[in-house]
Amino acid sequence: MNPPVDLDHCATEPIHIPGAVQPHGCLIAFDPATLRISNLSANCAEFLPLAGAGALGRTVHDCVPAAVGQWLGDALPLPAAEREAFRWRGDGRNLVAVLHVTDGLGLLEVEPDAEDDSPAIARAVERGLRRLAGSESLGPLVAETVRLVRELTAFDRVMVYRFDADGHGSVIAEAKADELEPYLGLHYPESDIPRQARELYLRQWFRAIPDARYTPVPLVPPLRADTGRPIDLTDCSLRSVSPVHLEYMANMGVQASMSVSLIVDGRLWGLVNAIHRTPLGLTPRLRQACESVGRLVSLQLAALEAIEMQRAEAGHAGTMNRLVAAMRKTDADVFGGLLAEPDALLDVMHAEGAAVVVDREVRGCGMVPADAEVRRLAEWAASQATDGVFRSHEVPGGGDGYPSGLLVIALPTPDLRCAMWFRPEVVQTVSWGGDPTKIVEAASPDGVPRLHPRRSFALWQQTLRGHALRWSAAEMRAAADLRRSAIEIDLAAKFRREQEAVRVRDELVAVVSHDLRTPLSVVTMQSFLIQRLLDEDGTERSKRMRASSDVIQRAADRMSKLLVDLLDLAKIEAGRYQVTPTRQPVTTMLEDVCSLLQPVAGVRQIALVSALLPEVEVMADPERMFQVLSNLVGNAIKFSPDGGQVTIGATARPGDCEIWVEDQGPGIDPEQLPHLFDRYWQAPGNGGSRGFGLGLYISRGIVVAHGGQIRVESTPGKGSRFLFTLPYA
């Protein structure tokens, strides 16, 4: 049994590095810096007598006429688009040279040139261009294109071949000899012009094969000396052709061909393709004229597409405005507003059904599958989407009442939020130029499977099921515009909700601060009076009541601190936190904190130590900086073991002063470090000594308001060091 045939061969064949050229010209490869020849085609001496096999290692100047060498030196520094061909007469015939620089290698192509045929070509092109300029729609434009190119070239058949989104193509215009069977309307599979060939057509506008029965002329040596790789001949018109393509031409019964790219907005729209039953070569000027026609037609195609897009957008502008207005009316569910305009929602995409999916909830209008299927399709489409938009005209399993066309736009949110449109199956009959299922045929006379192009191009009709009408470019543009509007509306609504939340929070904090401070002051004052009375009484019962009064006093103090923290929190988050920095000696600032907190540390025999402090002044708000330092030192005391030590110090650095507080506590888990300065974060395992998780958050806000930064260094089991910076005075 023969080994299996690799059907991917056509799509992966490296057609840009054939290692050979067509024989109607020659090629010299050289180093652009030194002009030394590294490779040349074996037929160079036929065109350049001095460029025989002994030319390797010599400079290009040694092998070409002086005028050619001068032109080459002038052309090398120029951009590719500015290099012009050079013509001269040598050894009794006209020659033309073209220069490329590809992958760091200079490539000089030389071939025979005809007598100056420019006037005749110019007259023919001028007549044709006038006809092309009068084309106001696609049909007349492509019809005039094939007519003009056939007049210029005399090929038996000239066609305009248009690619679809899948790489398949069809003949949409044709000019031919009367005795030939028409190809107009026939479709051809993607494999006839595989992906890598289409990529080359984007690089090289014109391609010709004067005689498909030629014998390739090899490059000598076959590989580059500097890289050991084949030479990239992508830009060379003499590049040898894939043997599979030559066999394809033979199976079609043609011996010469020509292709001109039609490129619109950077994509390969199609080709002007010409074929001839006998060998037929075009003069270099005629090839250039055909390329110019292709470039002009490409511009006209782009203009027609732009006009068509503008008409489509103008036609559904009112519908789009209604849909956008409907989305604006819904604050929480932007896509849900679309369903308030069901007719507009379906009309804008020419769909039979539409649905909105928000997380797991499905709502729809028109012909829509079951909710479970809609969710499944939404999840599948969202995973395939590019820039939040997905389309398909052949949904897997489509047909028999199930949608075959699907268009989806999704919002960039963690939860699934999308709008979907559905189209039904449209059974189509497609006429192919040969059986598209027989893309290649395998033959193995020597036991080694090889691929060969199909031999039959007879009309072959196929009934396509499970396909919907394709989504047009205008519909895709409308979908993208709707998505963009939805994102803008959703962000605006989210911003309004956040603004409202901030307003409500600020009002709440203000009310709480004002309304609680007064009763809290009363509680504090009454608690103090009760304590005095109980102290004066001195009975055992009074002593027990004094303990309860102390609890009340501590709770009131704690509540008072919380109110202050909440006010600071609101100001920081609203960007309204202000400080009034003045010149402050670092030594005085830190020693004051140590003096005030020494009694707190002494209760647990914790030593509060000031390190050697630099004699520098910083810009700091003394009240706010005391708030930061007391928080950091208080935390250090809280987490240090009895009998431990807390050290406070400062380091003078270039540009700022760094103040630090170091403890001998248990340290902080590395996983907790990123959250340390988060709002409401609290150290785990702190037992009963828990705060509200605002101290470090507010401390950071105060430091940042001073123009500084705060950070922490911690080693589990060894303690932590908190550091922050202040600018010098």
pLDDT in tens, 569-591: 677 766 667 888 999 999 999 98
Rounded CA-CA distance 287/149 in Å is 10
pLDDT per residue as tens digits for the range 541-554: 776 777 777 767 66
Average pLDDT over residues 235-246: 92
pLDDT at residue 520 in the model = 66
Burial class (CB in 10 A: 0-12, 13-18, 19+), 229: exposed
Choice among 308-312, 630-634, 653-657, 706-710 with the minimum mean pLDDT: 308-312
Q: What's the whole-number average pLDDT of the chain?
A: 85
Helix (H) / strand (E) element for 270: namely strand 267-276
- Choose between 694 and 111: higher pLDDT: 111
pLDDT per residue as tens digits for the range 72-129: 999 999 999 899 999 999 888 999 999 999 999 999 999 999 887 788 888 888 888 8
Q: Could you tell me the two tokens for 282?
A: 């075009």
User: Per DSSP, which regions of 594-692 are E strands?
Assistant: 607-610, 617-620, 645-653, 656-662
Task: Indicate the CATH number of 330-425 among 3.30.450.270, 3.40.50.720, 3.40.50.1000, 3.30.450.40.
Answer: 3.30.450.270
Choice among 30-34, 309-313, 418-422, 505-509 with the minimum mean pLDDT: 505-509
Distances (CA, A) of 142 to 128, 174, 290: 12, 8, 14
Domain 493-573, CATH 1.10.287.130 — does that match? yes
pLDDT per residue as tens digits for the range 652-680: 999 999 999 999 999 998 888 888 888 76
Encode burial over 417-444: b for 16+ CB neighbours within 10 A, e otherwise: bbbbbbbbbbeeebebbbebeebbeeee
| Topology agreement, domain 330-425 and domain 578-727 | no
Choice among 232-246, 283-297, 506-520, 713-727 with the minimum mean pLDDT: 506-520
Beta carbons within 10 angstroms of residue 186's beta carbon = 21
Q: What percent of the chain shows pLDDT beyond 90? A: 52
pLDDT at residue 162 in the model = 95
- Choose between 446 and 468: higher pLDDT: 468
pLDDT at residue 561 in the model = 65
Q: For the domain covering 20-112, report its CATH number.
A: 3.30.450.20
With H, G, I as helix, E, B as strand and everything else as coil, classify residue 367.
coil
- Domain map (residue ranges) of the chain: 20-112, 330-425, 493-573, 578-727
Domain 578-727, CATH 3.30.565.10 — does that match? yes
Rounded CA-CA distance 220/217 in Å is 9
CA 490 to chain centre: 22
- Choose between 185 and 455: higher pLDDT: 185
Q: Contact 313/477 with Cβ under 8 angstroms?
A: yes
Q: Of 656, 578, 595, nearest to 630 (Cα)?
A: 595
The answer, yes or no, to whether residue 6 has pLDDT greater than 50, is: no
Distances (CA, A) of 363 to 374, 524, 547: 9, 58, 64
pLDDT at residue 273 in the model = 96
CA 18 to chain centre: 33
**pTM assigned to the model:** 0.64
The answer, yes or no, to whether residue 683 has pLDDT greater than 70, is: no
Average pLDDT over residues 622-630: 90
List of residues 6+ apart from 686 with CB closer than 8 A = none
Helix (H) / strand (E) element for 29: namely strand 26-30
Q: Contact 453/193 with Cβ under 8 angstroms?
A: no
The answer, yes or no, to whether residue 289 has pLDDT greater than 70, is: yes
